Structure 1
Amino acid sequence: MTLKYLIAGATGGLGSQVLSYMVANLPSSEYAAASSHESNRKRFEDQGISFRLVSYDDPSTLEAAFEDVENVLFVSTNTFDVEKRAKQHQNFVDAAKKMGVKHVWYTSLAFGGFKSESNVDVQRAHLMTEDMLKESGITYTSIREGIYTDAFPLFLGWYPESKTIYLPSDGPVAFTSREELGEATARLMIRGGFEKQIVLLTAQETITFTEIVELINETTGRDVKLEFVSPEDYVRLAGTDDIGGKPDAFFQTLLSWYEGISKGDARTTDPLMKDLLRREPTGAKRFIRGLLTQDQDYRWHQNYVK
């Protein structure tokens, strides 16, 4: 029996939102959840959701999971090891081609907009995967997802305890709600089309780090300072006794992100997300104000090593 949609990364922040939309809007026979952990099977099957084991490190699980699948959501792995990610992603693409998956929907990032010239470290890995998909000859769509508004503390280097934030530069970012990205991605897969294309899903406004700090202070009554320093001083200051326990190497990696943002790599917006949602996506200012109004000590999990 053909399966219409397989959601890889169904336990992750984005994949779970895509799956939730399908659960609410499609017959259960049309979709299935995929995860690299067999222990998640019961969790999904208890909800009446079919489950398939998918390990990006094990091609045999990929081939078994992709049998008779029409559309698969290909969620990027979360490793910072570029060589490991390249192998994992090649395994995924090869298995999808071998098993005849009709359409692969890859979750890329929005750095660089529609262009493929960004030198942001994390975006280079996505561009590498887009090249794999092109070279494979399979039908794919690369969905360049807007940078999560939810993750603003990570990009800003902000904690509820922060008195001063140090950054190497500023620039406009089209931050976008993760929940709405999940819904828009699901709607896009259901709509279909966009074969062998790059699409961009973003909210319609941008915000700078300076404006976010002003919003934090305005909403929470804090008096957080923002200082712009040299790249070398940023790594030293941010990495010294980081509340989240992140090492200097992490902040060194972030330098390419800030350089890209300062050059406008994160400023491009596109109306496709608005069209898919049939409403205006939530802008960063309203979203962040809402988060901080609900919880003045809002935290983002990736800001912490553990």
Structure 2
Amino acid sequence: MTLKYLITGATGGLGQHVLNYFVENIPSCDFAAASSNPNNKKLFEHRGIAFRHVDYDDHQSLETGLRDVDNLLIISTSGASRSEQHARVITAAKTAGVKHVWYTSFVFGGFSDDSKTPVQQDHLFTERLLKESGLTFTSIREGIYAECFTFFLDWYPERTTVTLPGDGEIAFTRRAELGEATARIMIRGGYENQVVMFTAEETITAKEIVDIINETTGRQAKLKVTSREEYLGSSEVHDQRGKSKEYFQMIATLWDEIPSGALRTTHPLMREILGREPTTPRDAIQKLLTEDRDYVFIY
């Protein structure tokens, strides 16, 4: 029997929100959850949700898991092997005859393909593969999760000075709303062979976030913007958590393009798909800190 929708990464931070919308709005016979861990089968079937084992590193699971699927949601993976994993699943989707691939991409550079940020390079590579595959696809450049503002600022509750190698505008977007919008656009259909974007419609800077931290939690943190070289030279020495040099290099790489506007682009499509205004970055961050003044993003 043909499955209308298959949601990969259904236990992940974004995927679970996509799945929840399907559970609440679509007949259970029309969709299934997929995970790389076959032990998650019981977790889903306990909720009355069909399950398929789909491991991007396992050809056999891709061959069987993608069979007879109309709409496949490929939630991007993380790590050094991301490009190889995405190439593998796209090939499998084409072999299986998937009718429409929906891919969760990233927003560095807005709608341009000019970003040199390594994580965006992986997503641009995947988008090129989709375009060349002959598959019908929609690539959704998803806004930066508001929930991970602490990661972008490398902020933790004990920190009184937030040191960064730059500052700039970011359209932080609530992950739950991104998940809902992703589910809604899949159900609506259309947008064939397009790159679209989901973001909040306002932006916020690191300086403004530090002000929100202080206003909301009663702290007196301050922002120090320094050069990339000084940031990399001092961060590891002064860090209280034993983070590696590679960790701070990753943070610096993210900020290389932000001051020039790489995450400034906003778009109204998410508002159209949701049927309401997306939560602003300020309100989203304020809510997180009101609920937990020591909030830190957990991967």
TM-score, normalised on structure 1?
0.96
Q: Which runs of 5+ in 2 are unaligned?
A: none
Correspondence for 1:271 = 268
Q: How does 1:7-86 map to 2 (within 5 A)?
A: 7-79=7-79, 81=80, 84-86=81-83
Measure, in 1, the Cα distance between the counterparts of 2:63 and 2:142. Answer: 26
Q: How far is the alpha carbon of 1:238 from its aligned partner?
A: 2.5
Correspondence for 1:240 = 237
Measure, in 2, the Cα distance between the counterparts of 1:276 and 1:256. Answer: 32
Q: How far is the alpha carbon of 1:244 from its aligned partner?
A: 4.6
Question: Tell me, what secondary structure is at the counterpart of 2:14?
Answer: helix
Correspondence for 2:108 = 111
Q: How far is the alpha carbon of 1:225 from its aligned partner?
A: 1.4
Is 1:72–1:104's contact at 8 Å kept on the other side of the alignment?
yes
Measure, in 1, the Cα distance between the counterparts of 2:42 and 2:241. Answer: 33
Confirm or deny that 1:212 pairs with 2:209: yes
Measure, in 2, the Cα distance between the counterparts of 1:246 and 1:89. Answer: 29
The residue type equivalent to 2:127 in the other structure is: E
The residue type equivalent to 1:185 in the other structure is: T
Correspondence for 1:262 = 259
Correspondence for 1:100 = 97
Q: How far is the alpha carbon of 1:241 from its aligned partner?
A: 5.3
TM-score, normalised on structure 2?
0.98
Confirm or deny that 1:186 pairs with 2:183: yes
Correspondence for 2:135 = 138
Q: Which runs of 5+ in 1 are unaligned?
A: none
The residue type equivalent to 1:276 in the other structure is: I
Measure, in 1, the Cα distance between the counterparts of 2:203 and 2:117. Answer: 18
Q: How far is the alpha carbon of 1:149 from its aligned partner?
A: 0.3
% identical aligned pairs: 55
Correspondence for 1:287 = 284
1:83-112 deviation digits (Å, cap 9, x = unpaired): x22221111000000000000100001111
Compared CA separation, residues 199 and 39, structure 1 to 2 (3 A): same
Measure, in 2, the Cα distance between the counterparts of 1:155 and 1:134. Answer: 31
1:150-206 deviation digits (Å, cap 9, x = unpaired): 100000111011111110100000000000000000001001111111000000100
Question: Tell me, what secondary structure is at the counterpart of 1:266?
Answer: coil
C-alpha RMSD of the superposition: 1.0
Is 1:149–1:175's contact at 8 Å kept on the other side of the alignment?
yes
Task: Give the length in aligned residue pairs.
Answer: 299
Measure, in 1, the Cα distance between the counterparts of 2:130 and 2:182. Answer: 18
Is 1:121–1:253's contact at 8 Å kept on the other side of the alignment?
no
Measure, in 1, the Cα distance between the counterparts of 2:234 and 2:93. Answer: 45
